[in-house]
Amino acid sequence: MNEKYAPSNCIANYSVIALIPILFFLFVLLGYTGVISLTVPLHATIIIAFILFVFLLFIKHNANFSICKIRASYYKLDENMSKAFKSNELTIKGKTKSILDIRGYLNTYFEDVRNDNFASVASSVFPMLGILGTFTAIAISMPNFSVSSTEALDGEISSLLSGVGSAFYASIYGILLSLIWTYFEKRGMTKIEHYFASIEDTHQTKVYTKEELLIYKYTQYDTKENKFIEALKETFSLDFIENLNKEHLAGFQKIMDASNHNFSQIADTLQTVSNNMTNNIEKIDLSTNALDAQTQMNNSIEKFTNATNSFEKNSEIYSEQLNNSLKLTFDKIDNEVGQIVIKLADFATHISKESLEVQESIGKYHKRIAKEIE
C-alpha cells in the first residue's frame, strides 16, 4: 500500500456501490434454482455472474470509493502540504506566504488513488459485456431445426424463443451496471470537489492569491524597466568623454608649453650663434689675425650645428610624445565605445528574455482563466 495513504476500511463505500448488482444477481440465481417463477438457464446465469465479477473489480476505481481513501489520508496530506508550503515560500513587502497551487498539488498528490483509464471506460464496458453475453446466450441456446415432424419443430421454436428471452437478461444487467457506475462516479466526483474546496478554504490564508501574484509580477516588470532605463542613460552618458578630453587636453597643453619653451631656447641660441658669426666675419675683415677669426668661426659653426641637431632631436621627441598622447586618447575612446556596444548587447539579451517571460506568464494566465471559465 502507498505510504501516503493511511490504512482505512472503506467496505461501506464498496458495499453501497455493489449492493444493487449483487441483489440483481441473487434474483437471477433464485430464478435459476426455481425458487421464483423466472426461467433463467445455466449459461445465462454464468454470463451474468461473469459481468458481476468484472464490475466488482472495477469498484475500487470508482470516485465514490476513492473519496474514502482520500479522506482517510488527511493527516498525512496535511503533513506533506506543510512541507510544500515551506519549500514554496515567498516574501513580498515584508509578508511571507506560499506560492503553492493547492488544487494542482491535491490533484497530483491523489493521482494514483485510482486508475483514471479504468474509470473512464467502465460506463461503456458493462453494456458491451451485456450485449456480448446476450449474443453468447442466443448462440448457446440455438436449437437444431433438422426435425421431421411439426410438433418437434414447434418445440424447437419454443425453446429458441425461451432462450432469446433469457439471453436479454445479460444486456439488461450490463445497462443497469452502467447506470449504477455513472451515478456513483458523478456522486463521488462531487464529494471530491467539495473536499478539495474545503482544504483550499482551510489553507487559503497561507498562500498568495492569483491577483496578488499578478500584481507583484507586473510590479517587478515595472521596476526592471526603470532599471533598464537608468542603465541606458548611464551607458549613453558622454561625461566620460568630456573628462577624457579634459585630461588629455591638459597633458597636450603641457607638452605644447614645454615645446614652446624649448623652441624659444633654441631660437635664442641660434640668435646668439648668428650674432657671433656676424662679429667673427667683421673681425676677419678688420683683424689681421685671420687664424683666430677662423677658429672662432669654426666654433660658432659647431655650436650652430649642435643647436640644429638638438632642435631636430627635440622635435622628434615632442612629435613622438604627441603621437603617443593622441594614440592613448583614441585607444581609450575605442575601448569605451566597445564597452558601450557590449552593454547594449547584454541589455538587448536581457530585455528579450524578460519579454519571453512576460509572454509566457500572460499565456499561462489566459489558459488558467479559460479553464476556470470552462
Question: What integer is the mean pLDDT of 141-152?
Answer: 59
Distance CA 268, CA 296 (A): 19
Q: Which residues of 204-240 are buried (b: 16+ CB within 10 A; e: fewer)?
A: eebbbeeeebeeeeeeeeeeeeeeeeeeeeeeeeeee
For residue 182, what pLDDT is reported? Answer: 95
Q: What is the pLDDT of residue 84?
A: 87
- pLDDT tens track for 85-134: 888 887 777 778 888 888 888 888 888 888 889 998 999 999 999 999 98
Stretch 281-297: mean pLDDT, rounded?
56
pLDDT at 193 over 90: yes
Give the integer Cα–Cα distance in Å for 268 and 142. Answer: 143
* Burial class of residue 154 (count of CB atoms within 10 Å of its CB; 0-12, 13-18, 19+): exposed
For residue 57, the model assigns a pLDDT of 94
Q: What is the mean pLDDT of residues 301-322?
A: 62
- pLDDT value for 256: 66
Q: Summarize the chain as % helix, strand, coil (round to 5).
A: 85, 0, 15
Q: Which of 32-41, 101-110, 250-259 has the lowest mean pLDDT?
A: 250-259
What is the reported pLDDT for 235? 57
Cα 156 → chain centroid: 72
Give the pTM.
Answer: 0.56
Answer with the residue of higher pLDDT: 35 or 179.
179
DSSP 207: B
- Kindly state the cell numbers that stand for 361: 506568464
Matching residue, cell 515595472: 222
What pLDDT sits at residue 17?
Answer: 94
Q: Given this model, what pLDDT does residue 1 score?
A: 42
List the grid coordinates of 206: 497561507
- CA-to-CA distance for 53 and 56, rounded, in angstroms? 5
Q: What is the structure's pLDDT at 22?
A: 95
Query: Between the CA of residue 65 and those of 27, 61, 114, 148, 212, what are the distances in Å?
Result: 25, 7, 9, 58, 37
Judge whether residue 177 has pLDDT over 80: yes
* More reliable by pLDDT, 326 or 81: 81
Return mean pLDDT, the chain. Answer: 74
The reported pLDDT for the residue numbered 216 is 67
**DSSP conformation class of 61:** G
Q: What whole-number distance in Å separates Cα of residue 343 and Cα of residue 232? A: 9
pLDDT tens digit sequence for 331-360: 665 666 566 657 666 666 766 676 676 567
Q: Where are the domains of the chain?
A: 11-208, 230-364
Among 3-7, 173-177, 257-261, the range of highest mean pLDDT: 173-177
- At 213-252, the pLDDT tens digits run 676 666 666 566 566 566 656 655 555 555 655 665 666 5
**Distance between CA atoms of 191 and 13, rounded to whole angstroms?**
13
Q: Does the structure show a pLDDT above 90 at 37? A: no
Judged against a pLDDT cut of 90, whether residue 65 lies above it is answered with yes
Which residue shows C-alpha cell 657671433? 276
Assess contact for 73 and 4: CB atoms under 8 A: yes
**Beta-ladder partners of 92:** 95
Q: Identify whether the C-beta of residue 198 lies closer than 8 Å to the C-beta of residue 71.
A: no
Query: How large is the average pLDDT for residues 174-185?
Result: 95
Greater confidence, 351 or 169? 169
**CA 34 and chain centroid, separation:** 68
Q: Is the pLDDT of residue 147 over 50?
A: yes
